[in-house]
Structure 1
């Protein structure tokens, strides 16, 4: 069971990712002090319909299974270009202190 405070902290961080930037599940987990990146994925799948979910990727820059085409389309519309199905985390990763 995840606390409401942690749940909202994760949602707020995802909401804060600017257009044209991405973060990994692990990035969000670390910033929110969540115990695991999987918790971030679970929150997104259960309560992320109103968030920019497409800006959250696996740490290697690949999109979620089953959502890859839509996720990459949404990112492309924001100027985030993938090489095949992989986004360069080095180029597009969101760093809150600098963005």
Structure 2
């Protein structure tokens, strides 16, 4: 994993507004498109996004990044759900995952 890719992932995650969320795959697609547009290559998928976030710690709102069904990372599930509730992020009826149809965020560009 190179620094440009990690920086692009962290920059995008840092832009996700409170109360909204993105999936690992959506982040990978957007970062890949941006890197290609600037003359670079696609460098990763959803797993690589997860790796970048796992290595970063809490410098970015990692809890706003979920899997394709809206679940935060299992090992940090309770902490993530606490953060999401505090931000009033739309959750599923049982409160265990993000309601992506209501909460998904796309950057303007």
* Same fold by TM-score greater than 0.5: yes
Q: Aligned runs of 1:1-99 on 2, under 5 Å?
A: 2-33=1-32, 34-83=43-92, 84=94, 85-97=96-108
More strand by percentage: 1
TM-score by length of 2: 0.83
TM-score by length of 1: 0.91
Unmatched runs of 5 consecutive residues or more in structure 1:
none
Q: How many residues align?
A: 97
Alpha-carbon offset, residue 11 of structure 1: 0.5
Structure showing greater radius of gyration is 2
